[in-house]
Structure 1
């Protein structure tokens, strides 16, 4: 009798396991069919890039794109799509036209783009160019330049070093890098994959760092205005000819706006500096027609939900997200139109597959990430509690996990575990069906400076997706070349399909994912 009972129990457990396994397999098959054979992700990124980019924080362009995303997801039949405001004093800023030229000693068209939130030039301005290497010591700058800058344009910073482009501009992670990341035993010191591994323990630290960074130029800008300077030219050493107008950060209504400030191509910077070194004074002609305005209604996070089907678990949430805002000099395709399109496609795949996840799946497209994660942080403060208070709202305990995508358009290679060792075996099992796509690298390492760390701060399991870098850091990140041509279709399809499968499986778990110790 005992033997037969053991046999029946074993058979029952086996049948139960097989049925569960078969259910998961069937669900993943539906996800794969929808994600690989019926993909819409490139349609989404094409619209988001070519029709609804750029999406600078606070602008009409951002809000128009947000309305498109909301309407698109409503048309897919999402159970809920809505906006939440995150900023009342974020200024909109848009360029109408601009031009930068050298007229003496010979004509040269200067490849340039204005930094955001700078003042218009009030017509064409013409003046001699002078070079100021650094303003780290403002007392020294004032001593050297007081009374000498009226009517002048400033060439600001060091000349970019010569670059013969022997190194490739686009890369995938090597097998060595992936193995090193897998073997890492510490979240921060020696990150094999990402230079953004940091030791930021709290969001207060992050807010202090961002605020200090935002205000780093203010004293120098004020001095130049007082002295009667006309404008500023600067460069970032991205070759060949890449323009990098990331910033400024004077986006709040109360911030003093800088004078016209242009990022220029490094090769143009090099020539101008060499002329000055030879005591030949370039004459610069420029104009900037730009508009500053305040419309608080433009600053919204976009949220969409698929309501959970389990009566006991539907109040719990699996969250995914990406930042929706971009810089202004291109269409924001890789930063972060790609992440936004992927997360929208994840929601479409799950809905179109007819699957009924036990938990609610909520997607967020964040605004203001480029200004210090102000969109996701405002959401967290509203839903989870104030940063500096120890008490937390009950909603914190309802979130099983948050997955974020914000490292360009490269293929997913795995997940940064953000120091949470307890989730490793869970993710290993969930990603195993996709091992053939090389997406199952798990590293204890963390990465900072994007929206997942807000959730990590609130002790919600928050994770960033590992992605092949491609040309993100060499060509497209915050540059005038952040365009659709650098978004590979296969990578986008893999990302959306694998994340959809991962999110669905998390939503089906009996328990929420374990918190970091």
Structure 2
């Protein structure tokens, strides 16, 4: 009788375990089905990128984005809020219009840099000159007065507007090598010219402003057709503009040959003083272990040369869509699942650093964080970030991901801790298990990273959809794992560059008051 009872008990436990495994597998299947048949990615992308637009810290558009995200989450039945962590220099971009008015008329392609002072509606008309060439800083101080009342060009003129892969396909080897040698020579000459001013690249615009320059002109070419990187201004009173390679080259040649080009710049903007800056935090409350956490991470801000589609609109879309799907098919997670949409990553991981500093109770009980922030491509790389036992749990969770997604991912265990580059590093520095879902390039660095071409049309939605499936399954498996993840750190190797023992990165606080001091 006892033997029969034992057999029945075993069969009951076995069938219960099988049912539980099947139920878990059903959640994975439901995630895949929801992502493939009811995707909201294009809807999210359109609203975020086309309607809200670029998300520069300190701008009304950034605040609009935070408010939009909160309302979007609430429409899916997910709690969300904006958490202020600091303040920033407030600024709003207006119209930029640049015309060459002499020696002939031509409308130029360009834009004011972020936080550039306004020209007002009437604009500024002045001659364009090249940065004075001096033998040393003493001579430059004597020459700098020549820029008074002029627009000053401070970027190197490019010898070609064709990217290298275009040359590789069409040029003779001799011609290609000749061009590269010329470019290297120009690089060296321009570096010397800049060095001989006695100012760094950030300090030079201010020195020219103090000398009475009418404005600053740069051309930060990104080694692709029609692509410039667009960052921030370092002037306080005069406009700073970035002009396309083609039009910058035109102005440079005219100035170099004594043709005295003149331009009219209308670059309207508003200084909004000191404004609050936020993270948007959404959460699906845990049922069994609500004080342990899984975080889906993506920075929300962008530069504003375009609309920040792949940096980091796509990462944002992945995390929002993953949260929507989890709420739909896995509404009662074991652990609390949080989506962190960080502000001011572009100025130094500020939003995530502030969150780590302000929420130790979450960081100390973090099961895992998954971050995505390098373009529109499918995820192909995952590192253990120096956590000795990361393979044990990440490997297990990845087993639940469809083979056509997981087989593309190259893993590195235990890896070394990430030290910057994106927000996962803020958590790694605090000793929390945080991982970056690194994706294929799709010419990210040349064509979309911080450029004027980072727009909706560059998104590869099939790849982004695969990343949603990956992220949602990893979050689900991390939430369900019966064990808390290990934080044990590996012994780090010797740095080959310095010859010294590597150390774990140290946690840093955010810049809490940006652009104001």
Give unmatched runs, 5+ long, in structure 1.
170-214, 251-255, 385-393
Distance verdict in 2 for CA 1:228–1:86, change over 3 Å: same
Question: Is the Cα contact below 8 Å between 1:134 and 1:157 reproduced in 2?
Answer: no
SS of the aligned residue for 2:281 comes to strand
Residues 244 and 479 in structure 1, CA contact (< 8 A), matched pair in contact too? yes
Contact preservation (8 Å) 1:349, 1:497: no
What is the CA–CA distance in structure 1 between the aligned matches of 2:135 and 2:43, rounded to whole Å? 46
Say yes or no: does 1:287 pair with 2:259.
no
Matches within 5 A, 1:399-410: 399-410=366-377
How does 1:467-486 map onto structure 2 within 5 Å? 467-486=439-458
**Is 1:318 matched up with 2:298?**
no
1:308 maps onto 2:286 in alignment: yes
* Equivalent residue, structure 2, for 1:490: 462
Question: Which one of 143, 147, 151 corresponds to residue 149 of structure 2?
Answer: 151
Structure 2 equivalent of residue 91 of structure 1? 89
> Which one of 221, 224, 227 corresponds to residue 237 of structure 1?
221
SS of equivalent to 2:147: coil
Q: Secondary structure at the match of 2:476?
A: helix
Aligned CA distance change for structure 1 residues 10 and 138 (closer, same or farther; 3 Å): farther
Within 2, Cα distance between the matches of 1:134 and 1:51?
45
Residue from 399, 403, 412 that aligns with 1:435:
403
CA-CA distance at 1:161 after TM superposition: 4.0
C-alpha change, 1:133 and 1:154, in structure 2 (3 Å) is same
Partners of 1:77 and 1:245 lie apart in 2 by 37
Tell me how far apart the structure 2 counterparts of residues 140 and 504 of structure 1 sit (CA, whole Å): 65
Shift in Å, 1:455: 0.4
* Number of aligned residue pairs: 451
Q: CA deviation at 1:217?
A: 4.6
User: Partners in 1 of 2:271 and 2:68 — Cα distance?
Assistant: 23
Distance apart, 1:240 and its partner CA: 1.2
Query: In 1, Cα distance between the equivalents of 2:473 and 2:70?
Result: 23
The C-alpha deviation readout for 1:123-151, integer Å capped at 9, x for no partner, is 322222221289997555324x2321111
Pair 136,495 (structure 1): closer, same or farther in 2 beyond 3 Å: farther
> How many angstroms does 1:509 deviate by?
0.9
1:144-172 deviation digits (Å, cap 9, x = unpaired): x2321111111112122425346289xxx
- 1:49-94 deviations in Å (ceiling 9; x for gaps): 011111111111111121111011111111x311110222x02212
Q: Secondary structure at the match of 1:442?
A: strand
Contact 2:283 2:338 survives alignment (8 Å): yes
Tell me if the contact between 2:147 and 2:208 (Cα under 8 Å) persists in the aligned partners.
yes
Aligned ranges 1:63-78 → 2 under 5 Å:
63-78=63-78
TM-aligned CA distance change 1:273 to 1:9, over 3 Å = farther
For 2:113 and 2:369, locate their aligned partners in 1 and report how far apart those are by CA, in whole Å.
32
How far residue 395 of structure 1 moved from its aligned partner, in angstroms, is: 3.9
Aligned to 1:64, the other structure's residue is in SS state: helix
Moved more, 24-33 or 99-108: 99-108
Range with bigger deviation, 131-140 or 498-507:
131-140
**Structure whose CA Rg is larger:** 2
Q: Distance in 1 between matches of 2:485 and 2:50?
A: 38
Instruction: Indicate the residue corresponding to 1:423 in structure 2.
Output: 390
- Counterpart position of 2:211: 227
The 1:318/1:154 distance shift into structure 2, 3 A limit, reads: same
Superimposed CA distance per residue, residues 288-316 of structure 1 (whole angstroms, 9 cap, x where no aligned partner)? 1110103534x111001101111xx2210
SS at match of 1:87: strand
Match of 2:251 among 252, 272, 293: 272
One of 470, 487, 495 as aligned partner of 1:515: 487
Are the equivalent residues in 2 in contact too, given 1:403–1:452 (CA < 8 A)?
yes
Any conservation in 2 of the 1:231–1:259 contact (CA below 8 Å)? yes
* C-alpha distance after superposition, 1:236-286 (max 9, x if no partner): 2222122321223x6xxxxx7362111111122222223333333322221
Q: Is 2:85 aligned against 1:53? A: no
Residues 161 and 415 of structure 1: is their aligned pair in 2 closer, same or farther, counting only changes over 3 Å?
farther
Range that drifts further, 215-224 or 360-369: 215-224
Residue 100 of structure 2 corresponds to which residue in structure 1? 102
* Deviation of 1:445 (Å): 5.7
Helix, strand or coil: the match of 2:280? Answer: strand
The alpha-carbon distance between structure 1 residues 164 and 396, as it changes in their structure 2 partners (threshold 3 A), is closer
Cα separation, 2, equivalents of 1:10 and 1:216? 75
SS of residue matched to 1:237? coil
Listed as ranges, the matches of 1:11-410 within 5 Å are 18-78=18-78, 80-88=79-87, 90-122=88-120, 123-132=122-131, 139=138, 141-143=140-142, 145-165=143-163, 167=165, 217-238=201-222, 239-248=224-233, 257=236, 259-294=238-273, 296-297=275-276, 299-310=277-288, 313-384=289-360, 394-410=361-377
TM-score by length of 1: 0.80
Distance 1:277 1:445 in 2: 50
Q: Which deviations, in whole Å up to 9, do the C-alpha atoms of 1:441-463 show, x marking residues without a partner? A: 21236653211110011001111
Q: Is the 8 A contact 1:56 1:325 kept in 2?
A: yes
Runs of 4+ in 1 over 4 A off after TM superposition: 1-17, 133-140, 215-218
Distance 1:462 1:216 in 2: 36
